[in-house]
């Protein structure tokens, strides 16, 4: 807790010694408002010494300072609590994280309504009256879209893990993340709102919004990023020359650049998805709405002489979400679940004032107290 850290003279990244009657471990300090002022939390599962490679000497093992005596009432080992003493050491560690600021201010990234307002139509926002720079894009058969219900999202990051596995996304490691070169197509942003001793934590998955007025498309000098007739913001890897203009012009910051050729050493190469291209150094990449799954669903529908029906194609993130917060489908189908949810009274678009016309609709989070 910030108050506890202040009393101990500890700042973010300072290394502290955690001492108990059973032993001592050393770990870097991460300051967080959502913990009791007189408590310290340590995850179990780190501090390996015999695993080798990347797992060797990473983190600390809290089991080393726990008592080996079982709890009298339950007979189990005391994994939950242990009285400890905290001392600041002279070592400082640079804590690497993909997390940006945890305070959203007035940007309205995560929008909320009270319990009573959640079932009432919201006031209609003013629409853009200026003419668009480009002709409107037509989507004659398919217009793929997605809805994300923030009232269901728990921030578990299952969608992120599924996206890594499905789309052959490389793990770039701690050093590269520390240089701002993280590699992920969908990220979970966490925002903390606090007032006095009360606080609230809210999560939002952010991925490529597949904009109809995509700012990235107009700045690419080689047309590596362009718009399809199905509403997808395409990325042509063998055309990309790596200017990174698209990443600079994306207000959602969801495009990633490959600084290196990422290797998948044996046997990890066998886990790669053969339906997805492994990107090489010097090209941009981003969420594709799992276009390989869309292609398979369209081929099956074509063999049957019909179009893709609602529910016949599901991206990896939506398939894996345990809360069913992510819904995908054809926005042109007025009977589809994604279309109906996009017209929900809680629906809004991320950074709507920029008029990028995203294909992803978020549903506002419903709270008992809107101030939190």
For the chain, domain boundaries: 2-92, 112-367
Looking at residue 44, its pLDDT comes to: 84
Q: Please report where in the chains the tokens 């004659």 appear, as a residue.
A: 140
Mark 291-321 as b/e (b = at least 16 C-beta within 10 Å).
bbbbeebbeeeeeeeeebeeebbbbbbbebb
Q: What is residue 272's DSSP assignment?
A: S
Given this chain, do its domains 2-92 and 112-367 carry the same CATH topology? no
Report phi then psi at 88, rounded to 5.
-80, 135
How many percent of the chain have pLDDT more than 70? 94
Closest Cα partner for 141 from 34, 244, 26, 232?
232
Report phi then psi at 302, rounded to 5.
-65, -40
Radius of gyration of the chain (CA): 24
Tokens of 372: 């939190």
Classified by CATH at the fold level, domain 2-92 comes out as Barwin-like endoglucanases (2.40.40)
Return the sign of the alpha-carbon dihedral for residues 355, 357, 360, 362: positive
Torsion of CA 289, 293, 295, 299, to 10 degrees: -150
Looking at residue 46, its pLDDT comes to: 82
Query: In angstroms, rounded to a whole number, what is the distance separating the alpha carbons of residues 39 and 5?
Result: 11
Helices (H), 112-207: 158-166, 174-178
Q: Please report where in the chains the tokens 């990244």 appear, as a residue.
A: 13
- Give the model confidence (pLDDT) of 179-229 as tens digits: 999 999 999 999 988 776 677 889 999 999 999 999 999 999 999 999 999
What spatial distance separates the first Cα and last Cα of the chain, rounded to whole Å?
19
pTM for this predicted structure: 0.89
Low-confidence ranges of the chain (pLDDT < 50): none
Looking at residue 173, its pLDDT comes to: 86
Tokens of 269: 């190469």
Tokens of 304: 């049957």
Query: Under CATH, which number does the domain 112-367 receive?
Result: 3.30.70.20
Looking at residue 170, its pLDDT comes to: 92
Looking at residue 118, its pLDDT comes to: 60
Which residues of the chain form beta strands (DSSP E)? 14-20, 23-28, 85-92, 112-114, 144-149, 187-195, 198-206, 225-227, 233-235, 256-257, 284-285, 326-330, 347-348, 360-363, 365-367
């Amino acid at each position: 807790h910030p108050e506890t850290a202040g009393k101990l003279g500890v700042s973010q990244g300072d290394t502290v010694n955690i001492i108990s009657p059973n032993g001592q471990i050393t770990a870097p300090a991460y300051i967080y408002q959502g913990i009791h002022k007189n408590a310290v939390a340590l995850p179990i599962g780190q501090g390996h010494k015999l695993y080798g490679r990347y797992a060797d000497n990473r983190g600390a093992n809290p089991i080393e300072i726990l008592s080996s005596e079982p709890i009298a009432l339950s007979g189990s080992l005391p994994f939950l609590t242990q009285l400890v003493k905290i001392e600041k050491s002279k070592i400082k560690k640079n804590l690497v994280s993909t997390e940006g600021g945890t305070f959203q201010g007035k940007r309205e990234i995560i929008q909320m309504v009270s319990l009573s307002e959640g079932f009432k139509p919201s006031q209609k926002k003013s629409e853009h009256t200026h003419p668009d720079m480009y002709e409107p894009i037509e989507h004659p058969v398919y217009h793929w879209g997605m809805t994300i219900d923030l009232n269901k999202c728990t921030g578990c990051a299952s969608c992120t893990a599924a996206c890594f596995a499905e789309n052959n996304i490389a793990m770039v490691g701690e050093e590269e993340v520390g240089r701002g070169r993280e590699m992920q197509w969908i990220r979970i942003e966490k925002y903390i709102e606090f007032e006095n001793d009360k606080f609230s934590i809210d999560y939002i998955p952010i991925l490529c919004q597949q904009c109809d007025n995509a700012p990235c498309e107009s700045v690419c000098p080689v047309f590596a990023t362009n718009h399809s007739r199905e509403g997808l913001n395409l990325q042509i890897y063998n055309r990309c020359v790596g200017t990174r203009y698209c990443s600079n012009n994306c207000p959602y910051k969801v495009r990633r650049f490959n600084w290196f050729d990422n290797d998948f050493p044996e046997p990890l190469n066998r886990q790669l998805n053969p339906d997805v291209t492994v990107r090489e150094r010097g090209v941009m990449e981003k969420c594709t709405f799992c276009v390989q799954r869309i292609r398979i669903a369209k081929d099956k529908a074509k063999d049957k002489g019909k179009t893709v029906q609602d529910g016949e194609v599901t991206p990896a993130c939506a398939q894996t979400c345990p809360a069913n917060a992510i819904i995908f489908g054809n926005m042109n189908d007025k009977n589809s679940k994604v279309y109906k949810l996009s017209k929900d009274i809680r629906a809004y678009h991320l950074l709507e004032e920029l008029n990028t016309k995203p294909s992803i609709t978020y549903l506002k989070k419903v709270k008992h107290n809107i101030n939190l």
